[in-house]
Amino acid sequence: QSVLTQPPSVSGAPGQRVIISCTGGTSNIWAGYDVHWYQQFPGAAPKLLIYGNNKRPSGVPDRFSASKSGTSASLAITGLQADDEADYYCQSYDSTLSGPGWVFGGGTKLTVL
Amino acid sequence: QITLKESGPTLVKPTETLTLTCSFSGFSLSTRGMGVAWIRQPPGKALEWLALIYWDDDKRYSPSLKSRLTITKDTSRNQVVLTMTNMDPMDTATYHCAHTTWELLSNWFDPWGPGMLVTVSS
């Protein structure tokens, strides 16, 4: 059970827009810790897609955007392309008294129909 | 350009201790703000943060694994070592190291090493 909750899968047709949600709680996202997003292709290492809630590293297309509000964050992909098909993970910091540390969502598999 | 690469045994027996080395280039762990984290991913499952060490030797561990983990750095050799005791088949995973910087706990991990699959089996 991940501290951050993501839908196991989302899908969309080429050209469409999809949104992946990441739901946390009062000890992580709502507490003000930033949310970051990673893209992972099968057999490869995760790659940073979004950092600091909504910032794109150099080289990441502006088709990828993200936001954070309350206890949740979301990643939006517009103009869906076949090579966007991958797993996507959100990540933040959790300050729970029982054990602080960096946490990931359970991951969302994006299928391009 | 920052690069990292993991090395160590690909197969360990239950109850044994795993020692993994992360060799990196493109930054120094003697530079203020720099850090290296270890993150693992069991086959078909999600990412799990394990440990992190900063330039000033501040060390952080996953609460659920803290008793089994030790992270150290060798600044002169640009290496970070993770040891995990009492390995169990449930610890079978791809282990990644990743670069991070101190960001008031809002750290992100970038880039990542390619990872290495460690299988725990007798």
Instruction: Specify whether the CB–CB gap between B84 and B69 falls below 8 A.
Output: yes
Share of chain B above pLDDT 70, in %: 100
In the predicted model, is pLDDT for residue A97 greater than 80?
no
Pairing mode, if any, of strands A18-23 and A72-77? antiparallel
Query: What letter represents residue A75's amino acid?
Result: L
- pLDDT the model gives residue B109: 98
Q: How many CA atoms lie within 13 A of B97 on its CB side?
A: 28
What average pLDDT does this structure show over B81-90? Answer: 98
In the predicted model, is pLDDT for residue A24 greater than 90?
yes
CB contact under 8 A, B115 and A2: no
In the predicted model, is pLDDT for residue A96 greater than 90?
no
Alpha-carbon gap, residue B92 to B94, rounded angstroms = 7
Which residues of chain A make contact with B109, given a CB cutoff of 8 A?
Answer: 36, 38, 46, 48, 91
Which residues of chain B make contact with A51, given a CB cutoff of 8 A?
Answer: 108, 110
In the predicted model, is pLDDT for residue B27 greater than 90?
yes
Alpha-carbon gap, residue B48 to B72, rounded angstroms = 19
In the predicted model, is pLDDT for residue B103 greater than 90?
no
- pLDDT the model gives residue A103: 96
Confidence of residue A98 (pLDDT cuts 50, 70, 90): confident
Collect all residues with Cβ–Cβ distance below 8 Å to B73 and sequence separation of at least 6: B29, B36, B53, B57, B79, B80, B81
Task: For residue B59, give how far its alpha carbon lies from the nearest alpha carbon of chain A (Å).
Answer: 11
What average pLDDT does this structure show over B31-44? Answer: 97
Query: What letter represents residue B55's amino acid?
Result: W
- pLDDT the model gives residue A109: 98
Determine how many CB atoms are found less than 10 A away from the CB of residue A21: 16
Share of chain A above pLDDT 90, in %: 94
In the predicted model, is pLDDT for residue A2 greater than 90?
no
Residue of A nearest to B113 (CA): A45
- pLDDT the model gives residue B105: 78
In the predicted model, is pLDDT for residue B67 greater than 90?
yes
Alpha-carbon gap, residue A76 to A56, rounded angstroms = 12
Instruction: Specify whether the CB–CB gap between A27 and B105 falls below 8 A.
Output: no
In the predicted model, is pLDDT for residue A108 greater than 90?
yes
What average pLDDT does this structure show over B84-89? Answer: 98
What average pLDDT does this structure show over B67-83? Answer: 98
Strand order in the sheet with B69-74: B3-7, B18-25, B79-84, B69-74
Task: For residue A63, give how far its alpha carbon lies from the nearest alpha carbon of chain B (Å).
Answer: 20
Substitution target in A28, A102, A103 with the highest count of B β-carbons within 10 Å is A102
What is residue A66's three-state secondary structure?
A: strand
For the four alpha carbons of A68, B109, B39 and B10, in that order, the dihedral sign comes to positive
Closest CA to A69 of A24, A100, A3, A20: A24
Instruction: Specify whether the CB–CB gap between A27 and A99 falls below 8 A.
Output: no
